[in-house]
Amino acid sequence: MKGLFIISGLGVLAMLAEIFKFKKLLYPLVLIGILAAYVTNFMEWNNNTNIEMFANMMRFDNVALAFSGVILVTAFFWFILANDYFEQDHVTDHFALVLFALVGAIMLTGFSNMTTLFLGIEILSIPMYVLAASRKRDLASNEAGFKYLIMGSFASGFLLFGIALIYGATGSFDLMAIRSFISHAQGDLPAFFYAGVLMVLIAMLFKVSAAPFHFWAPDVYEGSPTVITALMSTIVKTAAFAAFMRLFLVVFGGVNESWSMVLAVVIALSLVISNITAATQQSVKRMLAYSSISHAAFMLMAILANQRGMTSVSAILYYSLAYSVGSIAAFTVLYNISKAKGNANIEAFNGLGKRHPFMAVCMVIAMLSLAGIPITAGFFAKYFIFSVMIGTTFKWLIILAILTSAVGVYYYFKVIIAMYFKQEDGEQEVTMETSHVLLLALTTIFTLALGIVPKYVIEIFT
Amino acid sequence: MLVGLLIIVPLIASLLVFFTKGNTSRTVALGLSVVEFILSLVVLFQFKHNPASADLMLNCPWVESLGIHFAVSVDALSMLMVLLTTFLVPLIILSSFNTSYEKPNSFYGLILLMQMALVGVFTANDGFLFYVFWELALIPIYFICLLWGGENRGRITFKFFVYTLFGSLFMLVGLVYLYNHTGFETGIKSWAVTDLYEAGKSLNLQQQSVVFWCIFLAFGIKMPIFPLHTWQPDTYVNAPTQGTMLLSGIMLKMGTFGLIKWLMPVTPLALAEWGWLAIGLSVFGIFYASCIAIVQKDYKRLIAYSSIAHVGLIAAGILSANQQGIQGAVMQMLAHGVNVVGLFLIADILMRHTGTREMGKLGGIRNMNGNFAVLFLIVMLGSVALPLTNGFVGEFLLINGVYQYGAWVAAFAGLTVILGAVYMLRSYQAIMLGEKRDSAIAFGSLVSTDKWVLYIICFAIITFGVYPKPLNDLAEEGTKAILTYIK
Q: What percent of chain A has pLDDT over 70?
A: 98
**How far is residue A241 CA from its own chain's centroid?**
7
* Interface predicted TM-score (ipTM) of this complex, two decimals: 0.86
A458 vs B65: CB contact, 8 Å cut-off? yes
> Which of A353, A374, A421 minimises the CB distance to B132?
A374
Asked if the model's pLDDT at residue A70 lies above 90, the reply is yes
Per-residue pLDDT of chain B (487 residues), as tens digits, is 788 889 999 999 999 998 888 788 888 999 999 999 999 999 999 888 888 777 788 888 888 888 888 999 888 899 999 999 999 999 999 998 888 888 888 899 999 999 999 999 999 999 999 999 999 999 999 999 988 888 888 888 888 888 888 888 889 889 988 888 887 777 788 888 888 888 888 888 888 999 999 999 999 999 888 888 888 888 888 889 899 999 999 999 999 999 999 998 888 888 888 888 999 999 888 889 999 999 988 899 999 999 999 999 999 999 988 899 999 999 999 999 999 999 999 999 888 888 888 888 888 888 888 888 899 999 999 998 888 988 888 889 999 999 988 888 888 888 778 888 899 998 998 888 888 777 777 777 888 888 899 999 999 999 998 999 989 999 998 899 888 888 7
Contact (CB<8Å) A421/B135: no
Residue A412 belongs to what H/E stretch? Answer: helix A395-420
Is B295 within a domain? yes
Nearest 5°: phi and psi at A135? Answer: -85, 85
pLDDT tens track for A323-376: 999 999 999 999 998 888 888 888 888 888 888 889 999 999 999 999 988 889
User: Within 10 A of B42 (CB to CB), how many other CB atoms are there?
Assistant: 14
Compute the half-sphere exposure of residue A72: CA atoms within 13 Å on the CB side of its CA. Answer: 28
B23 falls within a domain: no
Q: Do A417 and B63 touch (CB under 8 A)?
A: no
Residue of A nearest to B149 (CA): A421
**For position A199, what pLDDT does the model report?**
93
Residue A446: pLDDT band (50, 70, 90) is very high
Q: Where are the domains of chain A?
A: 2-458
Whole-number average pLDDT of chain A: 88
Looking at the complex, report in whole angstroms how far the Cα of residue A64 sits from the nearest Cα belonging to chain B: 22
Say which residues have a Cβ less than 8 Å from residue A389's Cβ, sequence separation at least 6: A301, A302, A304, A305, A395, A397, A398
Note the pLDDT of residue A269.
Answer: 93
Instruction: Count up the domains in chain B and report the number.
Output: 1
> Looking at residue A430, what DSSP letter applies?
P
What pLDDT score does A428 carry?
66
Judged against a pLDDT cut of 90, whether residue A120 lies above it is answered with: yes
CA A383 to chain B, closest CA, distance in angstroms equals 9
Query: pLDDT class for A427, splitting at 50, 70, 90?
Result: low
Task: List the helix and strand counts (H, then E) for chain A.
Answer: 20, 2
Cβ-contact A322, A369 below 8 angstroms: yes
Residue B290 within a domain:
yes
pLDDT of residue A307: 62
A-chain CB neighbours of B165 within 8 Å are 373, 406, 409
Which of A373, A398, A402 is opposite residue B139, by nearest beta carbon? A373
Which amino acid, A269? Answer: L
**B425 part of a folded domain:** yes
| Residue in chain A nearest B152 by alpha carbon | A421
Side chain identity at residue A124, one-letter code: L
* pLDDT surpasses 80 at A309: no
3 state SS of B406 = coil
Is there a domain that residue B383 lies in? yes
CB B81 within 8 A of CB B253: yes
Q: Which residues pair with A53 in a beta bridge?
A: A58
- Residue B447: domain span: 275-487
| High-pLDDT (> 90) share of chain A, % | 45
Report the pLDDT value the prediction gives residue A426, as an integer from 0 to 100.
Answer: 66
**What pLDDT does B463 receive?**
92
Tell me, what amino acid is at A95?
A: F
pLDDT of residue B49: 86
Is the residue at B10 inside a domain?
no
Q: Is residue B153 within 8 angstroms of chain A, CB to CB? A: yes
Phi (first) and psi of residue B19, to 5 degrees: -95, 5
Interface probe with B: pick from A301, A396, A399, A402, most Cβ of B within 10 Å = A402
CA distance B1 to B86: 18
Helix (H) or strand (E) holding A58: strand A58-59
- Is residue B122, in this structure, part of any structural domain at all? no
Predicted confidence band at A198 (pLDDT cuts at 50, 70, 90)? very high
Chain A interface residues (partner B, CB cutoff 8 A): 353, 368, 373-375, 379, 383, 386-387, 390-391, 398-399, 402, 405-406, 409-410, 413, 416-417, 420-422, 454-455, 458-459, 462
Q: Is residue B61 part of a domain?
A: no
- Strand positions, DSSP E, B9-92: 57-63, 68-73
Using CA atoms, how far residue B31 sits from A3, A424, B119, in Å, is 54, 36, 18
Tell me, yes or no, if B294 comes closer than 8 A to chain A by beta carbon: no
- Residue A446 burial (C-beta neighbours within 10 Å; 0-12, 13-18, 19+): buried
For residues A119-132, average pLDDT:
93
Quote the CA–CA distance of B476 and B76 in Å, as a whole number.
9
Cβ–Cβ gap B65/A459 under 8 Å: yes
Sign of the four-CA dihedral A252, A256, A258, A260? positive
Q: What's residue A107's pLDDT?
A: 92
- Bridge partners for A238 per DSSP: none
Residue B60 CB neighbour total at 10 angstroms: 10
Q: CB burial class (10 A; 0-12, 13-18, 19+) of residue B227?
A: exposed
